[in-house]
Chain A
Amino acid sequence: MSEALPLFFVSAMGLSLLLYVILDGFDLGVGMLLPFGSNSEKDVMIASIGPFWDANETWIVMGVGVLLIAFPKAHGIILTALYIPVTIMLVGLILRGAAFDFRVKSADHRQPMWNKLFALGSLMAAMAQGWMLGAYITGLTGSTMSLAFSLLISLTLPALYIMLGGAWLLIKTEGELFDKAAHWCRLALPAMTFALLLVSVATPLVSQDIADRWFKLPDAIGLLPIPMSCALAILGMNWMLRRPQVLHAGYGWFIFVALMVICLMAAIGLAYSIYPDIVIGRMTLWEAAAATESLQFIFWGAIVTLPAILGYTVYVHRVFSGKATELSYD
């Protein structure tokens, strides 16, 4: 039991962060795309994420919460090392969340300003998360190499979120905005592909250990499904985004599903590279784990509540399924 608990919690953390990237990814993406919509389109774009953004954002609280609960020693190391990007992300998330409400509740002439802040906040959060990812997978060393790499990821990770945002709009909107969303996805796809390649290339370069894991036979053959399904998903999206008639025939959701596949594969790949470390090259998850009795106490809570959370998350999405309609409190 005590051996398995850290594994359970590292999986729960991975799942939370994966769900965060997919779920808040789409609403941060919609946020970054906001300046490119017309005024009435902006309202539809915001309406498409209105009922969800708050719950979506909770997944990062969950992710960092599990890090804190289960791996308190790593929690301090990781978050102090990421002090600046974390602060930028938080300011971005504050701006985004506040602007969501202020844009309709402040004076009318202020709405353009809040729209801009909404987009800016989304961009700040996305870039800061890219920076954090870059710094984390290069071992939190703060070296020039690591900084340069973090910079590259922070410039390209937003492309993934923009793809997710565009794909979300393909599900939630129709008409001109739908076509615009397809266009935005087409533009973001190469940048996202580049970001993905970059992370894949960098991790083995950081550590010989990781390189061995990926390129040693026969393991490498078993790992092939990961890069192959990503490649298929990218090719599939590329094919479909060039065929508006297919998208219009009601297959827009495919783009979102393909992106989910990519996120899932990236998460599996990353986990495979890093395991069993929690701070790469410095601390394993066993070394960082909290006391067994603490993990047990929260384990039972998690077993009961996590399925319930997933259940009512699905329920809320079903209540608001279909094309987005104007947000109304009445």
Chain B
Amino acid sequence: MELDPFVLSRIQFAANITFHILFPTITIGLGWFLLFFRVRYTQTGNMYWEHAYNFWVKVYALTFALGVVSGITMSFQFGTNWPGFMERTGNIAGPLLGYEVLTAFFLEASFLGIMLFGKQRVSNRTHLISTFLVAFGTSLSAFWILALNSWMHTPAGYEIREGQFFAESWAAIIFNPSFPYRFTHMMLASLLTSAFLVAGVCAWRMIQGVDGPATKMVLKTGIYTAAIIIPLQILAGDLHGLNTLEHQPAKVAAMEAVWETEKGAGFTLIGLPDEDARETRFAVKIPYAASLILTHELEGEVKGLNDFEAHPPVAPVFWSFRVMTGVGTLMLLVSWWGAWQLFRRGALNNLALRAVSLMTFSGWVASVAGWYVTEIGRQPWIVQGLVSTADVVAQHPTATLSGTLFGYVGLYIALMIAYMKALRIMAVKPAKTLEQDSNPLGTPLMGTSA
């Protein structure tokens, strides 16, 4: 692969969007967790819920800030690197992004100030409303951006005149065929990611012995949420896959590394897809399984990669899909095991605690892998079947692009290290109740009886 402006722009965009999506994936879900903690405190008066909120709101603030600043980068890169995309699809992409800014960005950014720093300045009710508006704003933001992203996969409601897209029906554009599936899949992914994050960090704190009563409550919330959502997510993922098979069969063929069109196609568990030889080496297959999963029939026909005029690069899509589903399976096992222990004994044993803490960032891995499947799987198109990615790139000098790419990647690595270190510092801090035990003169907790 030669590093021409096109490849460099793609790597840069991939680096930016990979770094960016990590943070919204947490905040979209974690916002609702925080609201839950605040609501529980308001209902029960139990200070531990407030401790839980105070701990996690700091994580939220840090994560939110990184999401905002990396997101601004995204909004500029459409123009700086992919000007042809907006020139051709601006009539459709523009208003969707515009609604995201108007209805979501300002809402979340403005009320975030009150949510984070305004607790002493406003009533509890106003603070609850602000917390709700922030959580709602992040979800609304996901709604608009996923509407646009889904439209790029399954364009609808448009007409093309002289190479330019014009809107025919906004309802058809927003609720395009893949949107309901993608939106559901992503919202569940965000909830799962934050469920494993809160459960994982709490489990780690318990192993370290820095936990308080709030830690156990949050751990429980996280594990039960994960255990309930993971089967829903597997179902949503399956439905999304069927939708993809209908609209983007080449992507599904790459996911399964099916080269020849066949009936009763086997599912390749693992293997090395080789695009030059047009075969999967060392393939371990389950007979009929691909047909069964994709068409829900044993003898269903799966169209092979060789029968498409253009198809995405096979190996990255194939592997990303296996990483996503593999992590998903682990999520199912660990969360159900944890939930079963909680149900039976009200607590996790040491082994389960370790397993849960190892899964802290599993949501990130699965989400990023999932996005790679869907985005790399759309190539060589930026708008499926209509606009090719190579046609819309800006022709910047290779040296300029290498320089900016190098700068971004360096910055992102540094920030990622800082983020992990900061999380660790927050996580090792002994719980408030422990501080109070060691300081008998400390003010007693209020309302702990609930």
> With a CB–CB cut-off of 8 A, which chain A residues contact B73?
90, 94
Determine whether the beta carbon of A305 is less than 8 Å from that of B62.
no
Binary contact track A265-306/B, C-beta < 8 Å → 1, others 0? 000000000000000000000000011011001100110011
Interface centre among B58, B119, B396, B418 (most CB of A within 10 A): B418
A68 touches B111 (CB 8 A): no
**Smallest beta-carbon distance A285→chain B, Å:** 14
Residues in A308-327 with C-beta less than 8 Å from chain B = 309, 312-313, 316, 319-320, 327
- The answer to the question of B411 belonging to the interface, with a C-beta cut-off of 8 Å to chain A, is yes
Closest CB of chain B to A251's CB: distance in Å?
25
Chain A contacts of B313 at CB under 8 A? none
Given known A-B contacts A90-B72, A291-B166, A301-B99, A319 and B114 have beta carbons under 8 A apart: yes
Contact A309 B166 (CB under 8 A): no
CA distance A290 to B165 in the complex (A): 10
Least CB distance, A136 to chain B, in whole angstroms: 13
Q: Is the CB of A320 within 8 A of B422?
A: no
CA distance A94 to B65 in the complex (A): 9
Q: Are B90 and A68 in contact (CB under 8 A)?
A: yes
Query: A219 on the interface (CB 8 Å rule)?
Result: no
Q: Is the CB of B113 within 8 A of A90?
A: no
A91 CB–B CB distance under 8 Å: yes
Residues of chain A contacted by B329 (CB below 8 angstroms): none
Please encode chain A, from 248 to 277, with 1 for each CB lying within 8 Å of some chain B CB and 0 for all others. Answer: 000000000000000000000000000000
The minimal Cβ–Cβ distance linking B445 to chain A, given in whole angstroms, is: 14
Q: Which residues of B, 89-120, contact A by the 8 Å Cβ criterion?
A: 90-95, 97-99, 101-103, 105-107, 109-114, 116-120
With contacts A290-B94, A301-B98 known, is A76 near B58, CB below 8 A?
no
Contacts of A320 in B (CB 8 A): 113, 117-118, 121
Residues of chain B contacted by A209 (CB below 8 angstroms): none
Q: Is A72's beta carbon under 8 Å from chain B?
A: yes
CA distance A301 to B96 in the complex (A): 11
In the bound complex, do residue A75 and residue B90 qualify as a contact, i.e. CB atoms below 8 Å apart? Answer: yes
Closest residue to A9 on the B side, CB-wise? B98
Q: Is the CB of A97 within 8 A of B425?
A: no
The B contact surface, by secondary structure, is helix
Chain A hits for B425, CB < 8 A? 105-107
Which of the segments A80-88, A155-163, A237-245 contacts the partner chain?
A: A80-88
Size of the B side of the interface (Cβ < 8 Å), in residues, is 68
Interface residues of A in 148-179 (CB under 8 A from B): none
Any A CB within 8 A of the CB of B61:
yes
Other-chain residue from A83, A101, A301, A312 in contact with B61 (beta carbon distance below 8 A): A101
Among A62, A107, A329, contact of B57 (Cβ-Cβ < 8 Å): A329
Q: How many A-B residue pairs have CB under 8 A?
A: 223
Check if A79 sits within 8 Å of B422, measured CB to CB. Answer: no
- Residue-wise, chain B 397-426 has the 8 Å CB interface mask toward A (1 for contact) of 000100010011001000100100110011
Tell whether, in the assembled complex, residue A72 and residue B119 are in contact, meaning their CB atoms are under 8 Å apart: no
Taking the complex as formed, is A214 at the interface, i.e. its CB lies under 8 A from any CB of chain B? no
Does A105 contact B58, Cβ atoms closer than 8 Å?
yes
B56-106 contacts to A, CB under 8 A, are: 57-58, 61-62, 64-66, 68-73, 75-76, 78-80, 83-84, 86-87, 90-95, 97-99, 101-103, 105-106
Q: Is B245 an interface residue (CB 8 A)?
A: no
The residue that B103 contacts in the complex, of A65, A106, A291, A301, with Cβ under 8 A, is A301
Whole-angstrom CA separation of A80 from B72 in the bound complex? 16
Q: Check if A316 sits within 8 Å of B167, measured CB to CB.
A: no
Whole-angstrom distance between the alpha carbons of A68 and B79 in the complex? 8
Give Cα A319–Cα B129 distance, bound, in whole angstroms: 14
Q: Are A319 and B101 in contact (CB under 8 A)?
A: no
Task: Specify the chain A residue showing the minimal Cβ separation from B19.
Answer: A94
A residues 194-236 in Cβ contact with B at 8 Å: none
Q: Which residues of A contact B90 (CB under 8 A)?
A: 68-69, 72-73, 75, 290, 294
Give A177 to B75 CA distance when docked, in angstroms: 37
Q: What residue of chain A has the Cβ atom nearest to residue B53's Cβ?
A: A329
Query: Across the interface, do B68 and A291 meet the contact criterion of CB distance under 8 Å?
Result: no
In the assembled complex, the Cα of A197 lies from the Cα of B167 at a distance in Å of 45
Cross-interface CB contact of B110 among A55, A62, A94, A330, cutoff 8 Å: A55
What are 29 inter-chain pairs, A to B, with CB distance below 8 A? A54-B64, A54-B112, A55-B109, A58-B101, A60-B72, A62-B105, A64-B76, A66-B98, A69-B94, A72-B91, A72-B94, A80-B80, A80-B394, A82-B80, A97-B68, A98-B418, A107-B425, A290-B90, A291-B166, A291-B167, A294-B92, A298-B95, A298-B99, A319-B122, A320-B113, A327-B117, A328-B117, A329-B57, A329-B61
Nearest first, the 5 A-B pairs at minimum CB distance are A72-B90, A76-B83, A79-B79, A51-B113, A69-B94
Give 11 new A-B contacts, CB below 8 A, not counting A84-B404, A98-B415.
A57-B68, A68-B86, A68-B93, A73-B87, A86-B76, A87-B404, A293-B167, A316-B113, A319-B114, A319-B118, A330-B54
